[in-house]
A and B are shown apart, each in its own frame.
Chain A
Amino acid sequence: MRKSLLVAVAAIVSGFYLFPVYWMYASALKVSDELNANPPTLIPHAPTLTAFRWIFERENVAQYLWNSLLLSSSVTVLTLLLATGAAYSLARVRSIWMDVMLIGVMLSQVLPPPLLVTPMFVIFRQIDLINTQLAVILATTTKTLPFAVVMLRTSFAQVPIDLEEAARVDGASRTLAFLRITLPLARVGYIVVGTLVFLLAYGEFVYPVSLLNKKALQPATVGLYGFVGADYSDWGNAMAFASVFVTPVIVIFMLLQRRIVSGLTAGALK
């Protein structure tokens, strides 16, 4: 009885919360006039796939999505790789330099992307990476790295140092202790941080639009902004595009969430 009550509450809360997401999908299916109907229509009167057909015909949606996927995956991998060492050190070592680094890491997050773009562009031009996806990957990683470092540091800090010490006593090297003991225990942190980093990178817009000239290399976020014009925004089509952009990630996430969540509810150290 109690369980069914919880399920009901969960359904209601999720329903309310997801209403804007529903609105996006509904708008993609509405006839353009209906978007501005008064009173607003909760269910499209005459749902149509026109918007979807339009975007698939005019834009190379598959290429956009592929680029987005490529960008996000690469950024995730790079971020987790780079963040691990730093996060671990910050968790275990106590020194003024670590403090400085942590502060620096957080400071780097605050500059609004438009102001970061110019210096970024200069850097990439110096190393001749303009108009490459690698540049975008590197640039986006600067955005995700600090977040990963801070959150992974917390994960590592939660692993009791005695376990590592025990392994060291048994003869393992520091690295081995880390890999064998700490890393698996921080698994949950990695999964969560990895997911969020992927999503952060998936939504990146400013760097791709500033560092890439070729449309074939652009991710879907840039394609989305193509619908917002000088004097006219194509909202119906934009919502259709956004639906196509967001849905694969939601689906993948839903499929993976069992694993993610089993990590989350595993509760832990015995």
Chain B
Amino acid sequence: MRRNFLKGTAALGALAVLGGRWPAQAADAITMWHIFGAETEPGLKNIKRWNETQAQQIDQKFVPFGQLSQQLIKGIATGDVPDLITIDNPVVASFATQDALEDLSDLVRASRVIKADQYYAGSWGTTVWNGKQYAVPGEANTLALYYNADMFKAKGLDPDKPPRTWAELRHAAEVLTDKEKKVFGTAFCAIQSEEGTFQFLPFLQQSGANLKTLTSPDAVAALQLWTDFVTNGLASRDVLVKRQFEMTSSWLAGGSAMVISGPWELQRMKDVKFNWRVATLPRREGRDIEASALGGYVWGVPKGARNKEAAFKVIEFMSEPAQMQQAWSGGRLAPVKTLQVESPAMPEAYATFKKQMEVAKPRGPHPRWPEISAAMQTAIQEALTGRSPPDAALQKASRVINPILERTPMVGL
């Protein structure tokens, strides 16, 4: 019995080897690694469109988002890079300075589809380093304030007048927190990963401070706002370990009255049973600074890709309005400000996020962004866990961040 099994396995193994080998023609295909997991992703639809009309096919491979950096690094290390890849925008500079991305400046300049002035300044900014173009924005997203209008009404707040300042936000959170019903007034994400920095930066920027002035009273005020939310029980302690969408899941289940999150959540709003709204982020009173986060992936061509020009043609295709239009169906914004989505689903939400995108500020760009972000994450967590008061936490962070910024200045700081 064992022998037959062995024979069978050997046969299967041989089949696998033969069957799994790539036929010669695939060398012509444009290899693309992407993060479009669900079948409903607009990116996948666009790939299909290309493959239907073009001779040179896209050979696509889905890479789980958490694996993307790792797989790209492995690819670079082994010389086996795809022609095209989706990269999270804050790490473009890191890859660019380490010579891992092709310089697309000439191709972009000559392009008739991709025009820098059509893009949101923030989005475009993430793709440039040292005057050279290393990527093209693929999509954009930002952060806004989701809130439960029914809960507002129940507590005597006017749902048509969402909090416009930090003071109002604090007040609303206090009113909306209901310990008996286990409802937190507000929710945000302070996890020890890039998402935490992503969420905190708008508050830092609105306070009037920036990454160079982390020790200023303004910066401390921003971190204090978050700290107070947690220590006063207005936000769950789990903001420290939950991802953004997990905080939104809580909100959807009635665990909090407000949540700060992005347009990607809109796909989940179809079956929501309560009256929900989105408003732009509240500003700090006394400072009229509007800021929000800027996320989204960009298209990059890894250094050493075999089909650079073909890959760029794919990028151009993806940047055409017909393809960009698809983004909203997946809860993503196009990074192009001139694009108007025809009859968007959830028009008010769309309008709010579009408005917020105008003031969305990029993270970096800076080649050592991950280290800066890590220092910020530590500061946020130290303050929110009570390990350090906000000013001490921020001082510690600035001791790490300032030397980095001295060595290599950040654009826009």
Contact = CB atoms under 8 A, between A and B. Distances in A.
Interface in B240-260: 243-246, 249-250, 252-255
B20 interface: yes
B141 A132 contact: no
B413 interface: no
B14 to A, nearest CB: 9
Contacts of A118: 73-74, 77-78
A134 B17 contact: yes
Interface string B269-297: 00101000000000000000000000101
Contacts of B73: 118
Nearest to A77: B9
Contact of A33 (B9, B62, B253, B295): B253
Interface in B1-51: 5-6, 9, 12-13, 16-17, 20-22, 31, 35, 37-39
Contacts of B63: 209
A121 B80 contact: yes
B252 A33 contact: yes
B408 interface: no
A243 interface: no
B17 A210 contact: no
A200 B297 CA distance: 35
A125 B78 contact: yes
Contacts of A130: 80
Contacts of A229: 35, 37-38, 64-65
B253 A34 contact: yes
A229 B40 CA distance: 13
- Helix, strand, loop or mixed for chain A's interface? helix
Nearest to B195: A231
A171 interface: no
B385 interface: no
Pick the most buried of B13, B244, B254: most chain A CB atoms within 10 A of its CB: B13
A36 interface: yes
A13 to B, nearest CB: 30
B245 A233 contact: yes
A118 B80 CA distance: 11
A154 interface: no
A228 B246 CA distance: 12
A100 interface: no
Nearest to A228: B64
Interface stretch (A85-93, A211-219, A245-253): A211-219
B253 A209 contact: no
A114 B5 CA distance: 32
Interface in B211-269: 243-246, 249-250, 252-255, 262, 264-265, 267-268
Interface in A123-140: 125, 129-134, 137
Contacts of A217: 16, 20
A35 B74 contact: no
Nearest to B272: A33
Contact of A215 (B16, B35, B62): B62
B16 A133 contact: yes
A226 B62 contact: yes
B67 A225 contact: yes
Nearest to B82: A213
B264 to A, nearest CB: 4
Contacts of A38: 182, 250, 253-255
Contact of B265 (A77, A78, A132, A232): A232
B61 A213 contact: yes
Contacts of A209: 63-64, 67, 71
B74 A133 contact: no
Given A130-B80, A131-B20, A134-B16, A36 B74 contact: no
B26 to A, nearest CB: 10
A210 B74 contact: yes
Contacts of A81: 6
A81 to B, nearest CB: 8
A35 B253 contact: yes
Contact of B70 (A114, A214, A226): A114
Contact of A129 (B17, B39, B245, B295): B17
B74 A117 contact: yes
Pick the most buried of B22, B67, B243: most chain A CB atoms within 10 A of its CB: B67
B252 A36 contact: yes
A104 B192 CA distance: 36
A132 B17 contact: yes
Given A118-B77, A131-B22, A209-B63, A74 B37 contact: no
B167 to A, nearest CB: 28
A7 interface: no
B66 interface: yes
Nearest to B248: A232
Pick the most buried of A33, A130, A131, A213: most chain B CB atoms within 10 A of its CB: A213
A73 B77 CA distance: 31
A58 interface: yes
A73 B38 CA distance: 29
8 contacts: A38-B182, A38-B250, A77-B9, A131-B22, A228-B64, A229-B37, A231-B245, A232-B264
7 shortest A-B CB distances, which residue pairs? A132-B20, A36-B253, A230-B65, A133-B16, A225-B64, A226-B37, A231-B264
Interface of A: 32-39, 58, 70, 73-74, 77-78, 81, 114, 117-118, 121-122, 125, 129-134, 137, 209-210, 213-215, 217, 222, 225-235
Given A73-B9, A74-B12, A117-B74, 16 more contacts: A32-B271, A131-B21, A131-B22, A132-B21, A133-B16, A134-B17, A209-B67, A213-B61, A226-B62, A226-B64, A227-B37, A229-B65, A230-B65, A232-B245, A233-B245, A234-B38
Interface of B: 5-6, 9, 12-13, 16-17, 20-22, 31, 35, 37-39, 59, 61-67, 70-71, 73-74, 77-78, 80, 88, 141, 182, 243-246, 249-250, 252-255, 262, 264-265, 267-268, 271, 273, 295, 297
